[in-house]
């Protein structure tokens, strides 16, 4: 039991560190678009292609060529992961950040655990425990508050802005499900290499006859490098590794800590401010994560009828 708790703690730590890296992506996206005029589709493509290139070069230089091999039966899973949870997700995420702002987009995307938990139950038969349900409810209520769906604030979010961000949340949630399917057979870096490769490939047709904003200033190139190395490779690498120790739904809910990190980054760097209701919403989302991971000695199982459901 102690070893299992320790593994879960490692997994949660890795996921939280991943969200800290991810929380910087909105900042770099805003800076790159404002500094270059690149489209959300173009930025998503170059982000995925740049990440794929860095991973491929790194693995070749480190002598990890054997990790480039994958089984043919897993290619459809990798292709789906790259197309949905990398390529299309990055397009929708870029649009969500530009339309709603970093803080609001991040919190609306916190709906991802709802999609993940339902899909994990349908696909993998993961147990939906009482603690998961409460954590998801807290995250949902927090999202309602910060998105101003309660009518308590003056800020209006367009239907298109809300829809595109919820679509991004659905695509983002799929990363946990695909990753859980593949993480037992390959290293995190192998999965990411193929996922970003397929992500760039699916976006390639949309780059035809689209002007490339070149040359880029050294400052924009620096932001692009940070988006690749910090927000993308470090974030996805830590998260995929964390999936080895956690259920897909637990990892996705723990990733809600990105809300707090993103709000802090947006406030310091972009001047975005959250009012009292939005702060309360953020607290509720993070509270769901704390509830999920808080140890409860002596209450590790709940008898329901003749079945005993173990706390997640």
The burial of 140, by beta-carbon neighbours within 10 Å (0-12 exposed, 13-18 middle, 19 or more buried), is given as middle
Contact 30, 97 (CB under 8 A): yes
Q: Which of 8, 39, 156, 26 is nearest to 101 (CA)?
A: 26
Domain of residue 285 covers 9-298
Separation CA 24–CA 135 (nearest Å)? 25
Separation CA 223–CA 113 (nearest Å)? 29
Does residue 2 lie within any of the structural domains?
no
Does residue 303 lie within any of the structural domains?
no
pLDDT score at 116: 74
pLDDT score at 308: 35
Does residue 305 lie within any of the structural domains?
no
Angle at alpha carbon of residue 135, lines to 133 and 140, rounded to 5°: 95
Q: Which of 14, 89, 15 is nearest to 253 (CA)?
A: 15
Does residue 267 lie within any of the structural domains?
yes
Check: pTM over 0.85? Answer yes or no: no
Separation CA 289–CA 131 (nearest Å)? 10
User: For residue 83, what is the DSSP state?
Assistant: I
Separation CA 183–CA 118 (nearest Å)? 20
The SS3 call for residue 244 is coil
- Give 126's contacts (C-beta < 8 A, 6+ positions apart): 117, 120, 247, 248, 249
Residue 301's DSSP bridge partners are: 310
Structurally, how many domains does the chain consist of? 1
Residue count of the chain, please give it: 312
Contact 31, 262 (CB under 8 A): no
pLDDT score at 5: 64
Does residue 310 lie within any of the structural domains?
no
Per-residue pLDDT of the chain (312 residues; tens, 9 = 90+): 556 667 888 888 999 999 999 999 999 999 999 999 899 999 999 999 999 999 999 999 887 778 888 999 999 999 999 999 999 999 999 999 999 888 888 877 777 777 777 777 777 677 778 887 888 788 778 777 766 655 555 455 677 887 898 889 888 888 877 877 787 788 888 989 999 999 999 999 999 877 777 778 899 999 999 999 999 999 988 988 888 888 766 777 777 778 778 888 888 888 877 777 777 877 887 777 677 656 554 334 333 333 332 333
pLDDT score at 295: 53
Does residue 309 lie within any of the structural domains?
no
Does residue 304 lie within any of the structural domains?
no
The burial of 298, by beta-carbon neighbours within 10 Å (0-12 exposed, 13-18 middle, 19 or more buried), is given as exposed
User: For residue 185, what is the DSSP state?
Assistant: T
Contact 310, 127 (CB under 8 A): yes
């Amino acid at each position: 039991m102690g070893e299992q708790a320790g593994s879960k703690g490692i997994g949660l730590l890795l996921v939280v560190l991943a969200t800290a890296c991810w929380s910087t992506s909105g900042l770099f996206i805003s800076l790159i678009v404002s500094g270059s005029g690149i489209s959300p589709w173009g930025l998503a493509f170059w982000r995925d292609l740049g990440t794929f290139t860095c991973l491929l070069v790194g693995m070749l230089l480190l002598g990890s060529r054997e990790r480039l091999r994958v089984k043919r039966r897993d290619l459809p899973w990798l292709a789906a992961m790259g197309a949905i949870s990398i390529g299309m997700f990055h397009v929708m995420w870029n649009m969500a950040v530009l339309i709603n702002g970093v803080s609001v987009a991040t919190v609306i995307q916190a709906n991802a655990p709802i999609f993940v938990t339902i899909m994990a139950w349908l696909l993998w038969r993961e147990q939906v425990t009482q603690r998961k349900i409460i954590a998801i409810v807290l995250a949902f209520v927090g999202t309602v508050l910060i998105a101003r769906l309660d009518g308590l604030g003056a800020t209006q979010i367009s239907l298109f802005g809300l829809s595109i961000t919820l679509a991004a949340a659905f695509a983002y949630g799929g990363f946990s499900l695909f990753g859980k399917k593949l993480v037992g057979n390959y290293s995190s870096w192998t999965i990411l290499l193929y996922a970003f490769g397929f992500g760039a490939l699916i976006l390639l047709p949309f780059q035809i006859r689209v002007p490339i904003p070149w040359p880029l200033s050294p400052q924009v190139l620096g932001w692009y490098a940070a988006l690749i190395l910090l927000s993308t490779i470090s974030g996805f690498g830590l998260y995929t590794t964390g999936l080895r120790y956690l259920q897909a739904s637990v990892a996705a809910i723990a990733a809600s800590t990105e809300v707090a990190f993103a709000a802090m980054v947006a406030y310091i760097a972009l001047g975005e401010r959250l009012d009292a209701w939005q702060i309360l919403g953020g607290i509720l989302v993070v509270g769901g994560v704390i509830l999920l991971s808080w140890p409860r000695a002596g209450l590790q199982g709940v008898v329901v009828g003749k079945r005993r459901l173990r706390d997640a």
